[in-house]
Amino acid sequence: MTVASEIKATFEFKPGLEGVPATMSSISFVDGQKGILEYRGIPIQELAEKSTFLETCYLLIWGELPTKQELEAFEHEIRYHRRIKYRIRDMMKCFPESGHPMDALQACAAALGLFYSRRALDDPAYIRAAVVRLLAKIPTMVAAFQMMRKGNDPIQPRDDLDYSANFLYMLTEQEPDPLAARVFDICLMLHAEHTMNASTFSARVTASTLTDPYAVVASAVGTLAGPLHGGANEEVMTMLAEIGTVENVRPYVEHCIQNKKKIMGFGHRVYKVKDPRATILQNLAEKLFEKFGRDKYYDVAVELEKVVAEKLGHKGIYANVDFYSGLVYRKLGIPDDLFTPIFAIARVGGWLAHWKEQLAENRIYRPTQIYTGSHQAPYVPIEER
């Protein structure tokens, strides 16, 4: 038996840990063949129709839908923790305007740990306070960076506005249209949680060291930023502009296939059919177009979805959550490089649910590796190299 085959017999290495369970979890469920997504057993379509983002976060984090009183208390706490410390704003003033808002967000999330350094991971009151702070302040940070990089003062949160309406207000200083605010709130629900995706895995690994929740969220934000994960929503809009017209779609797809180039907003490790969130997002985009006018790239997107299904459907490659979200956000007047920070605002709910679940039965993550290097190698003096 060779060393390589001996190793293979002992461990079955799965690149990207495909199909390897990393935890036991009761937070969400995905059936990638049937296109089913449930949060705590409730289908995503039902939540999108009937719930709100904060109620959904409560469900994800505490495992049950809140009573009316519980929800009101939760919303109330979050409303009154939306402001951020002036020192965080001062820190943000030093960030380059050209920097990506995801980098700004990661730095700000980590900085929260400087202000709330007490750590009592077995105290439910501590957990609740961290949940409230992170859900309340992350949107304010995203909006503040947006204003400051344009040379304006950040807009203070408004206590009379709901979570999503307040975020949209802080971006523009205008009260959003009720349909826009509701659509945005649904988008947050759709992005709140998705089993063991890369950023959630990152959050759980970080949580397993018993560090503070701000470090957990900061590490997850960094992981979400990449174009293979949350960063794809911004890339989709660049791609649609590059394609430009419906006629260019087919040659674009053929070129990508020939050159083994990934088409942004398509494919998924788990879904082998259209992502159910993409279906809801497409419907939301159409609702917005009816009221506020059609996006010039929507026809390109629809044609792209059709051609990708035709050419790559046999491999199970269909539109994912990132494909239509940008068209929705753009119609809401949101700049492209805030799409991924918005994904992060939403996913804080899921990351915190996983943080809490990890703490309840923690063991530090410490997998193994298959060493492929040499042994007993000589140290060669620098002048002989």
In the complex with ligand SDX, the residue whose CB is nearer, 147 or 312, is: 312
User: Which of the stretches 128-136, 161-169, 287-295, 315-323 binds ligand SDX when contact is defined by CB under 6 A?
Assistant: 315-323
Q: Applying CB under 6 A, which of residues 50, 150, 315, 366 lies at the interface with ligand SDX?
A: 315
Q: Which stretch binds ligand SDX (CB under 6 A): 56-64, 135-143, 228-236, 297-305?
A: 228-236
Among 38, 55, 322, 357, binds ligand SDX (CB under 6 A): 322
Please state the closest distance from residue 43 (CB atom) to ligand SDX, in A.
16
The span from the CA of 382 to the CA of 249, in Å, is 55
Q: Does 276 bind ligand SDX (CB under 6 A)?
A: no
Whole-number Å distance between alpha carbons of 352 and 60: 9
* CA 363 to each of CA 355, 356, 366: distance values in angstroms, whole numbers, following the listed order: 12, 13, 9
Has 299 been annotated as catalytic? no
Are 101 and 145 in contact by the 8 Å Cβ rule? The answer is: yes
Residues paired with residue 266 on neighbouring β-strands, in sequence order: 319
Closest CA to 94 of 108, 84, 81: 108
| Residue 241 within binding range of ligand SDX, rule CB under 6 A | no
Told to check if 268 binds ligand SDX by CB under 6 A, we report: yes
What is the nearest approach in angstroms of ligand SDX to the Cβ of residue 329? 15
Give yes or no for residue 55 binding ligand SDX (CB under 6 A).
Answer: no
Using CB under 6 A, pick the residue from 100, 158, 182, 229 that binds ligand SDX. 229
Regarding 320 and contact with ligand SDX (CB under 6 A), the answer is yes
Residue from 321, 338, 344, 352 in contact with ligand SDX (CB under 6 A) = 321
Q: Helix 163-172 and helix 124-149: axis angle, to 10°?
A: 30
Smallest gap from residue 273 Cβ to ligand SDX (A)? 13
Q: Does 16 bind ligand SDX (CB under 6 A)?
A: yes
267 in contact with ligand SDX (CB under 6 A) = yes
What is the rounded CA–CA span in Å between residue 245 and residue 224?
30
Say if residues 287 and 177 touch (Cβ distance below 8 Å).
no
Backbone angles phi, psi at 319, to 5 degrees: -60, 140
> What phi and psi, each to the nearest 5 degrees, are found at residue 157?
-60, 155
Distance (Å, whole) CA 218 – CA 95: 17
Q: Say whether 295 is catalytic.
A: no
Residue of the chain from 197, 202, 219, 358 that contacts ligand SDX (CB under 6 A): 197
Choose between 6 and 18: whose C-beta lies nearer to ligand SDX.
18
The owner of tokens 């009101």 is 72
DSSP codes, 56-69? HHHHHHHSSPPPHH
3-class SS of residue 218: helix
* Residue 96 binds to ligand SDX (criterion: CB under 6 A): no
Q: How far is CA 251 from CA 171, 274, 300, 316, in A?
A: 38, 22, 13, 21
Residue nearest to ligand SDX as judged by C-beta position = 267
Residues that bind ligand SDX (CB under 6 A): 16, 194, 197, 228-230, 232, 262-269, 312, 315, 317, 320-322
| Catalytic residue IDs | 268, 322
